[in-house]
Amino acid sequence: MAIARILLLEDDLNLSETVKEYLEEEGYEVDTAFDSEEAQEKIYENSYDILLLDVMVPGINGFELLKEARRHKEVPAIFITALSSVEDLERGYESGCDDYIRKPFALKELKLRIETLLKREFDTKGEKIEIAEGVFFDLNDSQLYKNEKPVTLNNKERRLLKLFLKNRNRTLSHEEIFDNLWDYEETPSDSALRTYIKNLRKILGKEKIVSIKKHGYKFVAE
């Protein structure tokens, strides 16, 4: 099961294939783009956990791409670039990136930076998030466990749980949930969402997910 869904923008075909293959072997789900226009379309149409962005690509550069993307979605981003000056580093962080890795780089270093960023997104320093007594979510394999046994979730239930864990004690509107669970070409479904909520409540406890009338849901953390 995928740890996270990643968009990789890299116009060097060989490097793109190498990074994609490595990350997929590590359990990640990776979409690729080779120019900024293609990346913009995929960011608009899909939900990603992390963006990996080369800077010097066809179309607008990675700095401008991230600025534009952040107008619509808050998603962590790591720049991958051969640019090495302090000025470039400043531009990268000013455009909103969370981390910056210079080419050439070791694939394992990239993986470690991704893992660190994911833990920061979930507001935890550890690898496991305790949800209730005997129930925890393992960030390393995106697996939910109850009484030390893995619990099977479908893809959208897993996405929903991760969204709740990133937004503990915050009310999520139906629209925000739809945007994160359903991709652009899919039609959001109220009845399907209610089913996913019902299934998660059976596992986590009904009190963990509170319905906010006419608005959305809130995941209640201790």
Q: What is the mean pLDDT of residues 202-215?
A: 92
Higher pLDDT, 9 or 3: 9
Total domains in the chain come to 2
Q: What is the mean pLDDT of residues 63-87?
A: 83
- Residue 60 CA to residue 57 CA, distance in Å, equals 7
Whether residue 136 sits in one domain with residue 34:
no
Q: What CATH number has the domain bearing residue 9?
A: 3.40.50.2300
Q: For 104-115, what is each residue's pLDDT tens digit?
A: 999 999 999 998
pLDDT value for 86: 64
Which amino acid, one-letter code, is at 142? S
Q: Residue for token digits 């749980």? A: 161
Q: Detail the DSSP E strand segments found in the chain.
A: 5-9, 29-33, 50-54, 77-81, 99-102, 128-132, 135-138, 143-146, 149-151, 171-173, 209-212, 216-219
Q: Which of 89, 121, 153 is the last residue of a domain?
A: 121
Whether residue 11 sits in one domain with residue 114:
yes
Q: For 168-196, what is each residue's pLDDT tens digit?
A: 899 999 998 998 888 877 899 999 999 99
Tokens representing residue 176 in the block? 């925000």
Phi, psi of 137 (to 5 degrees): -110, 125
Give the residue among 114, 4, 16, 10 at the shortest CA–CA distance from 62: 10
Tokens representing residue 199 in the block? 């299934």
Whether residue 168 sits in one domain with residue 71:
no
Q: For 129-165, what is each residue's pLDDT tens digit?
A: 899 889 999 887 788 999 999 999 998 999 899 999 9
Q: What is the number of other CB atoms lying within 10 angstroms of the CB of residue 216? A: 18
pLDDT-based confidence at 119, cuts 50/70/90?
Answer: confident
Interacting residues of 40 by C-beta distance below 8 A, sequence separation 6+: 65, 68, 69
Whether residue 108 sits in one domain with residue 9:
yes
pLDDT value for 27: 86
Q: What global pTM score does this model have?
A: 0.73
- What residue numbers bound the domain in which 31 lies? 5-121
Tokens representing residue 56 in the block? 């010097």
pLDDT value for 1: 43
